């Protein structure tokens, strides 16, 4: 482990984290507030400091970018793109195809306020689009939610591990706050792993050839493929639910929050505990699969009050309520438009619920 402490923006940290895990290819269309990602990668590409980094290309559109990522990923390369809300909408076509073709790749969405052009402030309004699969057809989704600059740096490695393990696209859902936030960090010494890419399309040798297609014209073929994707979704849901917890063991009220909201909730937990209210935090690290098992276990252990804090009109709260199955009181504190609630807002809402 190197002990060099860096001081980087979330977007910059994410770019370096990807490079340090052996990123081969980056294609993207610039969009605020994610532009530091391509800018950092373009600089490093020009410097040739990362030997695995074979390609940086600014695409002519979001569609071009995601399809270039598809092409590179089809050869077994570690390929990534990054965007923000409006661009993430355009990426959905490619994500559907990539999921159908079972291609491992990484798509970063630095969530800004919407709908439409919205503004450049932070929101978490792309939660549904990311976790449900915003493209057509049904397909498994794997969504990671960093909550700090060090996690912006380390999640690309985790993302590629999962993408290649399950041969599926992985979405890294950040928000505009995390993208612009600068924090101190030490890059973990991650190896740049080589994954099994025997499935890749790199030229047919002998009789064996690889056709990566999402087209299954025979109804029975498509049904089989869809079931295969469903099995994958189930496997991912069983094995990959991840969450971090603070003080949930004795909490009378549990915040559920991710991304920048989880940081606010941490502060609120501290304030509430100083006021003798036993608050806790369940922070989903995987938004898909949602850590519903932990929600159910917490309820079994006697937790009955959950306060979901998110930057939207209520999206993740649905997943918490589904997991709770009516066995707990689940309330929402939502904020929109690029604004954040204050930690005092969280404290007040929790106090009202705790009463």
Partner 1 sequence: MTAAAELYEPKLGALPTLTGTPTHYCAGCEHGTLTRLIAKAIDELGVRERTVMVSSVGCSVLAHEYLNVDAVQAPHGRAPAVMAGIKRVRPDLLTFAVQGDGDAVSIGLLELLNAANRGEPITVFLVNNAIYGMTGGQMAPTTPSGMVTTTTPAGRDPVTTGPPIDATRLVAAFESPAYVKRVFLPILPTPSPRVFNARGALEGAKAVRHAFEVQQRGGFAFVEFVSTCSVNWKLGILEAKRYAAEVLRPLFPPGLYRDRFAVEGR
Partner 2 sequence: MTSETIVAGHGGQGVLELANWLAYFHLLRGRHVAYTPSYGPETRGGKVKCYVVASEDPIDSPIVEAPDLLIAMNLPSMDYVPLLRPGGTLLVNSSLVRDGPGRTDVTVERVPAVELASGLGRYVPEGGRDPSIAANSVMLGAALGLAREGPARTRATVEEVFRHYLTDRKAAYLPLNLNAVDAGFAFVVRSLLPA
Residues that bind partner 2 (CB under 8 A): 5, 7, 120, 177, 180-184, 263-264, 266-267, 270, 340, 342-344
Shortest spacing between CB 212 and partner 1, in angstroms: 5
Of partner 2, partner 1, none, which one does residue 314 interact with (CB within 5 to 8 Å by kind)? none
Q: Which stretch binds partner 1 (CB under 8 A): 71-79, 83-91, 223-231, 316-324?
A: 71-79
Q: Which is nearer to partner 2, 267 or 304 (CB)?
A: 267
Q: Which is nearer to partner 1, 210 or 273 (CB)?
A: 210
Beta carbons of 296 and 254 less than 8 angstroms apart: no
Measured from the Cβ of residue 137, the count of other Cβ atoms closer than 10 Å reads 13
64 binds, among partner 1, partner 2, none (CB under 5 to 8 A by kind): partner 1
Alpha carbons 351 and 122: distance in angstroms, whole number: 26
Give the 3-state secondary structure of 55-88: EEEECCCHHHHHHHHHHHHHCCCCEEEEECHHHH
Q: Give which of partner 1, partner 2, none residue 264 binds (C-beta under 5 to 8 Å, depending on kind).
A: partner 2
Binding flag, residue 212, partner 1 (CB under 8 A): yes
Measured in whole angstroms, how far is the alpha carbon of residue 216 from the centre of its chain? 29
The residues that bridge with 295 in the sheet, in sequence order, are none
CB of 109 to partner 2, least distance (A): 20
Q: Which of 46, 60, 219, 220 binds partner 1 (CB under 8 A)?
A: 60
Neighbours of 2 (CB within 10 A): 9
- What is the 8-class DSSP label of residue 118? -
3-state secondary structure of 177: helix
In what helix (H) or strand (E) does residue 158 lie, and over which residues does it extend? helix 149-166
Cβ at position 308, least distance to partner 1 in Å: 35
164 binds partner 1 (CB under 8 A): no
Nearest in space to 37 (alpha carbons), one of 134, 178, 148: 178
Give the footprint of partner 1 on residues 81-140 (CB under 8 A): 93-94, 97, 101
Interface size with partner 1, residues (CB under 8 A)? 40
| Euclidean distance between CA atoms 105 and 108, whole angstroms | 10
* Residue 270 interacting entry, from partner 2, partner 1, none, C-beta within 5 to 8 Å by type: partner 2
Determine the Cα–Cα distance for residues 292 and 296; give it in Å rounded to an integer. Answer: 6
Smaller CB separation from partner 1, 213 or 301: 213
Residues 307, 349 contacting (CB under 8 angstroms): yes
287 binds, among partner 1, partner 2, none (CB under 5 to 8 A by kind): none
Give the list of residues 6+ apart from residue 227 with CB closer than 8 angstroms, or none: none
Q: How many CA atoms lie within 13 A of 83 on its CB side?
A: 27
Q: Is 72 in the site for partner 1 (CB under 8 A)?
A: yes
* Minimum CB–partner distance for residue 29 and partner 1 (Å): 11
> How open is the CA angle 349-287-254, to the nearest 5 degrees?
30
Nearer to partner 1, 93 or 318 (CB): 93
Of partner 1, partner 2, none, which one sits near residue 181, judging by CB under 5 to 8 A according to partner kind? partner 2
The residues of the shown chain that bind partner 1, judged by CB under 8 A, are 24-25, 27, 54-55, 57, 59-61, 63-65, 67-75, 77, 79, 93-94, 97, 101, 201-205, 209-215, 217
């Amino acid at each position: 482990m190197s002990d060099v402490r860096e001081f980087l923006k979330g977007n910059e940290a994410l770019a370096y984290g990807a490079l340090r895990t052996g990123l081969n290819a980056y294609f993207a269309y610039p969009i605020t507030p994610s532009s530091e990602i391509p800018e950092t990668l373009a600089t490093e590409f020009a410097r040739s400091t990362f030997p695995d980094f074979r390609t940086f290309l600014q695409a002519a559109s979001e569609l071009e970018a995601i399809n270039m990522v598809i092409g590179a990923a089809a050869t077994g390369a570690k390929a990534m793109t990054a965007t923000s809300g409006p661009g993430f909408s355009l990426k959905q076509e490619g994500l559907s195809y990539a999921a159908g073709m079972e291609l491992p790749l990484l798509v970063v969405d630095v969530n800004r306020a919407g709908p439409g052009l919205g503004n450049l402030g932070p929101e978490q309004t792309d939660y549904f689009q990311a976790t449900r699969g915003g493209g057509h057809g049904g397909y498994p989704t794997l969504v990671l939610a960093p909550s700090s600059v060090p996690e912006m740096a380390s999640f690309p490695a985790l993302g590629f591990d999962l993408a290649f393990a399950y041969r599926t696209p992985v979405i890294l859902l950040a928000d505009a706050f995390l993208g612009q936030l600068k924090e101190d960090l030490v890059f973990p010494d991650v190896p740049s792993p080589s994954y099994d890419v025997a499935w890749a399309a790199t030229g047919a040798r002998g009789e064996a050839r690889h056709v990566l297609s999402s087209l299954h014209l025979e109804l029975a073929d498509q049904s089989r493929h869809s079931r295969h994707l469903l099995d994958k979704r189930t496997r991912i849901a069983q094995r990959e639910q991840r969450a971090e917890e603070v003080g949930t063991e004795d909490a009378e009220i549990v915040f559920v929050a991710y991304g920048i909201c989880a940081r606010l909730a941490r502060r609120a937990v501290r304030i509430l505990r100083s006021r003798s209210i036993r608050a806790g935090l369940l922070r989903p690290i995987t938004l898909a699969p949602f850590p519903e098992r932990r929600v159910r276990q917490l309820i079994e252990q006697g937790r009955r009050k959950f306060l979901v804090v998110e930057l939207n009109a209520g999206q993740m709260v649905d997943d918490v309520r589904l997991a709770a199955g009516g066995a707990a009181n689940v309330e929402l504190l939502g904020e929109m438009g690029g604004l954040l609630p204050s930690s005092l807002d969280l404290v007040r809402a929790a106090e009202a619920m705790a009463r």
